[in-house]
């Protein structure tokens, strides 16, 4: 009916043949139809690329790109270069989205005239037995209150890539790209830079994103975590966030610096 704005959905794909169909079907079946679905293969050596091409035959909104393996940040950045929608969202190829997820995000962006919207995530354990729902805090009167929530957050909801929709204008104006040199938390780093430039940020309380927790967790890179906490602290100070919230970030940071030292000692002793 009304003038629907195009949403570019950027999906980095790497050796996910077992779960890729589940993800792509959930994107093709969105209630919001005005989509550009960019499947960007990062040099998979399984059947992933073939599955992408099969889906492209069935749905003309799908575009498929491939390059030699460079990692997920490089792959998402290719998506940013190639997309032309008014809004951008990044989805991981081993996850799934509920049918109305994109519609809910677009409605929130339009309702509030925001540049970024953050939604909830439903985490599903490797054995599919456990579901944990994480939601962002609702409604900030101003950006200082928003940063207060970032400082106090214990769920990590602000860092994940796929529960955010961005206005492409913001990403282009600020030349936002994923940092290809980070090995952990490149997602939080990108989000923090985007948040710090946004004039208006919305949240929605639906958890439309189904995040399947892999059986094998990657090791935490504490240096990257410490760098991000430092960034939260300095942006929050600029935005006049309360002393208590900033103290919370400092405590968090000290804890991770300790963990970092312990991890190094452990590595030396092995």
pLDDT in tens, 17-59: 999 999 999 999 999 999 999 999 999 999 999 999 999 999 9
Q: What is the pLDDT of residue 191?
A: 93
Cβ atoms of 69 and 42 within 8 Å: the answer is: yes
211: Cβ–Cβ under 8 A, 6 or more apart, which residues? 92, 95, 121, 122, 123, 124, 160, 162
69: closest CA among 48, 95, 55, 85? 48
On whether the CB atoms of residues 91 and 23 are closer than 8 A, the answer is yes
Residues 6+ apart with CB under 8 A from 83: 8, 10, 36, 38, 168
By residue count, the chain amounts to 270
**92 DSSP 8-state letter:** -
**What angle in degrees, to the nearest 10, is found between the helix axes of 243-269 and 222-238?**
170
pLDDT of 106 strictly over 60: yes
pTM score over 0.75: yes
pLDDT at 171: 97
What's the mean pLDDT in 212-235?
A: 78
More confident residue, 153 or 173: 173
pLDDT-derived band of residue 114, with 50, 70 and 90 as boundaries?
very high
CA dihedral 212, 217, 220, 221 (to 10 degrees): -90
Q: Which residue has the higher pLDDT, 184 or 24?
A: 24
Q: Would you state the pLDDT for residue 154? A: 81
Please give the Cα distance from 165 to 174 (Å, whole number).
Answer: 16
pLDDT, average across residues 67-91 = 97
């Amino acid at each position: 009916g009304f003038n629907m704005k195009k949403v570019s959905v950027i999906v980095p794909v790497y050796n996910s043949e077992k779960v890729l169909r589940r993800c792509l079907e959930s994107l093709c079946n969105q209630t919001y139809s005005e989509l550009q679905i960019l499947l960007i293969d990062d040099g998979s050596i399984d059947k992933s690329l073939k599955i992408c091409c099969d889906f492209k035959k069935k749905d003309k909104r799908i575009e498929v790109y491939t390059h030699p393996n460079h990692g997920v940040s490089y792959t998402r950045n290719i998506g940013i270069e190639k997309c032309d929608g008014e809004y951008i969202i990044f989805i991981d190829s081993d996850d799934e989205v509920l049918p109305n997820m994109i519609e809910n995000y677009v409605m929130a962006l339009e309702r509030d005239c925001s540049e970024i919207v953050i939604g909830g995530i439903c985490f599903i354990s490797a054995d599919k037995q456990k579901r944990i729902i994480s939601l962002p805090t609702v409604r900030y009167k101003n950006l200082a209150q928003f940063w207060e929530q970032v400082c106090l957050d214990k769920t990590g909801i602000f860092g994940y890539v796929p529960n955010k929709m961005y206005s492409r204008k913001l990403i282009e104006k600020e030349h936002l790209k994923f940092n290809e040199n980070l090995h952990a938390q490149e997602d939080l780093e990108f989000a923090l830079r985007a948040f710090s430039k946004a004039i208006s940020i919305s949240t929605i309380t639906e958890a439309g994103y189904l995040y399947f927790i892999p059986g094998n967790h990657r090791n935490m890179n504490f240096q990257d975590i410490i760098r991000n906490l430092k960034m939260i602290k300095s942006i929050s100070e600029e935005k006049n966030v309360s002393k208590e919230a900033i103290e919370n970030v400092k405590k968090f940071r000290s804890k991770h610096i300790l963990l970092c030292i312990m991890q190094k000692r452990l590595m030396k002793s092995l």
